[in-house]
Amino acid sequence: MSVGEKKIADMESYNLAMSKSMIDKMFFMDKIDESVTTVFDFGCANGVLIGTLARLFPEMTYVGYDLDEDMIRQAAERCKDCRNVFLFSSLTAFHDWAREQKLDFKKTALNLSSLIHEVYSYGTPQSIEDFWRFVTATGFGYIVIRDMCLDISAHRPALKEDVIKVRSSYDLNMIAQFEALHGSITDNRNLIHFLLKYRYTDNWEREVNENYLPVSVEDVMGKISAGKEKYRLIYFDHYILPFLARSVKKDFDIVLKDYTHVKFIYELR
């Protein structure tokens, strides 16, 4: 866990929320080349994704990395019967293992699922720079990204009726706490940001501090294209998570129009 990161108050509800999107998180498996032998899940949390993949595709190797040692312990318990899963809470330890195993990075898919926003929320400028260097200069055969992300056009005034609907039906103190950290919900981008996190009341003190939208779609594409290794984009999807759209419509009678989630797959040239 990075310096400054708040503990998850209700780990069970947090992990349940993460598990609900499991099928969506596996989207890349039928889109990467069959020569890929290893999936490296950076920010693996409790290992539910790699544990699932290890059982579905046992011929592959799965590497999980997370700074939170408690999460790694949970992942180890979840994957204890999987001989093709290796877990680390230190990148140094991972690199040592990779050298010993003679890991072929060109045959490895790096998976970044719901991870980039946490890197920015809890990292320092230096650690964020180190993260992007690791992603773009290691030489992974594929870079897979799935996260919350808006495009730059989301910065515009929010519809007044949508702002009124939120302010009239949600805890005003919680809205004020959000706005003190992220800006007024009269800005469309900030309103969407709030609607992405309003449901997480059990872990509100942690979630409200996170910046879910630190970079735009265009920013991510720029980071990959500016990296040391050259990649080509082979898959892109910008969409609204159906569960989110249903929840926002039900709770606020608001129809989301901006795409809130993005998937990228980049292949090493």
In a domain, 183, yes or no: no
Show the domain range for 144: 11-151+213-241+261-268
Q: How many domains does the chain have?
A: 1
Q: How far apart are CA 259 and CA 157, in angstroms?
A: 16
Pair 9, 203: CB distance under 8 Å: yes
Does the residue 159 lie in any domain?
A: no
Residue 3: its pLDDT value, please?
Answer: 34
Q: What is the pLDDT of residue 19?
A: 53
* 166 within a domain of the structure (yes/no): no
How confident is the model at residue 14, as a pLDDT? Answer: 47
Residue 95 located in a structural domain: yes
| Residue reference for tokens 């979630």 | 207
Task: Give the residues of the chain that fall short of pLDDT 50.
Answer: 1-6, 8-10, 13-15
pTM greater than 0.95 (yes/no): no
Other CB atoms within a 10 A radius of the CB of residue 132 amount to: 16
Residue 79 forms part of a structural domain: yes
Residue 221 lies in a domain: yes
**Within a domain: residue 78?**
yes
Query: What's the confidence (pLDDT) of residue 24?
Result: 85
Token output for 222: 């720029």
Q: Is residue 203 part of a domain?
A: no
Alpha helices in 211-254 (DSSP H): 217-225, 242-252
CATH of the domain at 85: 3.40.50.150
CB 122 within 8 A of CB 2: yes
